[in-house]
Homo-oligomer: A and B are copies of this chain.
Amino acid sequence: MDNLLSEGLNLMVFGMGFVFVFLTLLVFSTGVMSKLVNKYAPASEPKPQRSKSNPKVQSAGAGAKNDELIAVMTAAVHKYRS
């Protein structure tokens, strides 16, 4: 019984301590990693996605139409897959 209590306490103290130590190290390592990456391998500007298809599409019709197209397509795809 007493043993169970001490085991439980041990587990709580060391367990919680270890979780904090581990995540603290992770915060630190992640920070270092991010700093190194942004220093030595900075990301190019985040590209607006699908920039290649957009012009094409936009030349072909108004934006509203595209939304609609995509809605229909999504529905069709959904239907197809389910």
Contact = CB atoms under 8 A, between A and B. Distances in A.
Interface of A: 50, 53, 56-57, 60, 64-66, 68-78, 80
A76 to B, nearest CB: 5
Q: Is the interface of A mostly helix, strand, loop or mixed?
A: helix
Count copies of this chain in the complex: 3
Contacts of A76: 70, 73-74, 77
Contacts of A56: 68, 71
Most chain B CB atoms below 10 A, which of A57, A70, A76: A76
A63 to B, nearest CB: 12
B60 A68 contact: yes
Nearest to A78: B80
